[in-house]
């Protein structure tokens, strides 16, 4: 199961100049379309006098959500190259905005593709990368005499204890990588001789 993805840790910038035109790239980590819209609005406000503010973003563990925009540049000359820069580094949950100040000389479609890609490449290369995981919260309920066995298994499988409640039985809420859930469940059942029950909670991002 694919539960690992790479994004950037914080905002990153870069600037290049091509035949008089300035290209300022700004990369942001995002968690939603709303994040992307807010950051894009902030860039447009900061560089209100720019000729173009072109952008692309990709989101989701599988990178299935994406959008790009040329903001008045020739079709395919800005947004797509920016998205290609994101994909080249296998990143997701990332927005890149490339702001252009026209320098008086037209660059042609090929020149624009190269310039937007180069600016985006530099901003993303400069960015500190962050590997994240999808995790599952799992509530395990078991008798008090199984505490030692359960804690041993939890430690060995790298699960984190989020909460523990003691009453007639012990209720432990665990967080573990999605790809390791079934392995952990099987080990807990085995080491407690089946004296354990599970209640899954929603999948979440780590």
pLDDT digits (tens, 9 = 90+) for 14-46: 999 999 999 999 999 999 999 999 999 999 999
- Measured between alpha carbons, how far is residue 16 from residues 23, 83, 115, 146 in Å? 5, 18, 8, 62
> What architecture is the 133-205 domain classified under in CATH?
2-Layer Sandwich (3.30)
* Domain 4-127, CATH number (from 3.30.230.30, 3.40.50.300, 1.20.950.20, 3.90.1530.10): 3.30.230.30
Spans of all domains in the chain: 4-127, 133-205
From the number of C-beta atoms within 10 Å of its C-beta (0-12, 13-18, 19+), residue 62 rates as exposed
Q: Fill in the DSSP letter of residue 179.
A: G
- How much is the pLDDT for 133? 87
Q: How far apart are CA 152 and CA 72, in angstroms?
A: 60
- How much is the pLDDT for 201? 72
User: Which helix (H) or strand (E) covers residue 182, if one does?
Assistant: helix 181-191
């Amino acid at each position: 199961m694919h539960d690992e993805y790479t994004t950037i840790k914080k905002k990153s910038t870069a600037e290049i100049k091509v035949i008089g035109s300035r290209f300022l790239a700004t990369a942001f980590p995002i968690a939603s379309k709303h994040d992307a819209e807010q950051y894009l609005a902030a860039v447009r406000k900061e560089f209100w006098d720019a000729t173009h503010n072109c952008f692309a973003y990709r989101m989701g563990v599988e990178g299935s959500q994406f959008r790009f925009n040329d903001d008045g540049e020739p079709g395919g000359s800005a947004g797509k190259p920016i998205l290609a820069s994101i994909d080249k580094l296998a990143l997701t949950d990332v927005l890149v905005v490339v702001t252009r100040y026209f320098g008086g000389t037209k660059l042609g479609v090929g020149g624009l593709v190269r310039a937007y890609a180069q600016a985006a490449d530099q901003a993303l290369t400069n960015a500190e990368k962050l590997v994240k995981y999808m995790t599952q919260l799992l509530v395990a309920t078991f008798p008090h005499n199984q505490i030692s066995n359960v804690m041993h298994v939890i430690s060995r499988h790298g699960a984190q204890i989020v909460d523990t409640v003691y009453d007639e039985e012990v209720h432990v809420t665990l967080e573990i990588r999605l790809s390791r859930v079934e392995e952990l469940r099987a080990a807990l059942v085995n080491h407690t001789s089946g004296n354990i029950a599970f209640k899954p909670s929603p999948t979440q991002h780590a």
